[in-house]
A = this chain, B = another copy of it.
Amino acid sequence: MTDTTREWTLAERPRGEPDLDCFDLRERDRPKPDPGELLVRVRYLSVDPYMRGRMRDAESYAEPWAVGDALKGGVVGEVVSSADGRYDAGDLVTGNGTWGDHTLLDADEVAPVDPSVADPPAYLGVLGMPGRTAYFGLLEVGEPKPGDTVVVSGAAGAVGSVVGQIAKLNGCRVVGFAGTDEKTEWLTADLGFDAAINYRTADDYGAALAEAAPDGVDVYFDNVGGPITDAVFGELNLDARVAVCGQIAHYNDEETPTGPRKLPLLIAPRARVQGLLVSDYATRFGEAADRLAGWVADDDIEHRETVVEGLENAPDAFLGLFSGDNVGKQVVRVSSPE
């Protein structure tokens, strides 16, 4: 045990697709917790598509990272040193920390991790921000009703895989778009999706969707954008709801992307399209946590994490999100129990 720790910083802003030059692994003194803080040895850290937005020099819902800043995100880790009465050394917690071997966490903003409910990395996926996003996005924006057809893009990702399963629990027909046969097989064989379309091999998304969703689309949960979304907008039913959760197809665009105009398609079905940020539901995170944990405990929701080994590979894990390397939640294993 040394007095130093490593953490990833933003070396330069990406232009277009990020690469490893954007990241710099620095060594620094291990920080000490101020009152109310915890020093945590990181077990797992989360890489998420939205982080691409924080690498831009533009105000958005998440503050941009400055060049030289430590990268931050969801972590699960073990308390090494506590300056808060509620937590002791050895406790397993989750919160927002740095991409590092160690991180400080604000004790007010951490939650306990209970390995008897689910393995720790699940607290970065189905029991973490992605699960909450799926929960509120589908139920509050999508408003699924029994018998509705729900279409999900990025369906095998951390958010999409939970969206589809909650939709099934609500009595919906569920169709997912994903990028490999392994993923589509997982969706239909393990997660109970009614149909899944491999967008890398499908010739005609519209035709594939018309077959998979013969009664049209009542709810579309969009994580992707681009041509998949173009096809779905052509199939919207009367009073359809579209939750715009992510647009990963466009996060690396340097120029404003162009495509078919969609507004003319909204009038006849009176469709509603709404941007979604999970933080708007912060006062109800406890409700989501309880229900998601219950579904996981009852095996009503399956989850999978794709684990990349080693802090040094965190940038690779992040970049892999844009090529669809992950099935379920992408995490990085930083350390193991001692």
Contacts and interface: CB of A to CB of B under 8 A. Distances in A.
A64 to B, nearest CB: 12
Interface string A272-283: 111111001000
Nearest to A61: B268
A274 B273 contact: yes
A153 to B, nearest CB: 11
A82 to B, nearest CB: 36
A307 interface: no
A32 interface: no
A260 to B, nearest CB: 5
Interface residues of A, number: 32
Contact of A263 (B244, B258, B269): B244
A266 interface: yes
A273 B277 contact: no
A74 to B, nearest CB: 19
Given A268-B61, A275-B268, A258 B259 contact: yes
Interface in A244-263: 244-247, 250, 256-263
Given A268-B60, A270-B280, A273-B272, A256 B247 contact: no
Interface of A: 60-61, 222, 225, 229, 244-247, 250, 256-264, 266-277, 280
Given A225-B264, A268-B277, 17 more contacts: A244-B263, A244-B266, A247-B261, A247-B264, A247-B267, A257-B264, A258-B259, A259-B261, A262-B263, A266-B275, A267-B277, A269-B275, A270-B274, A270-B280, A271-B274, A272-B272, A273-B274
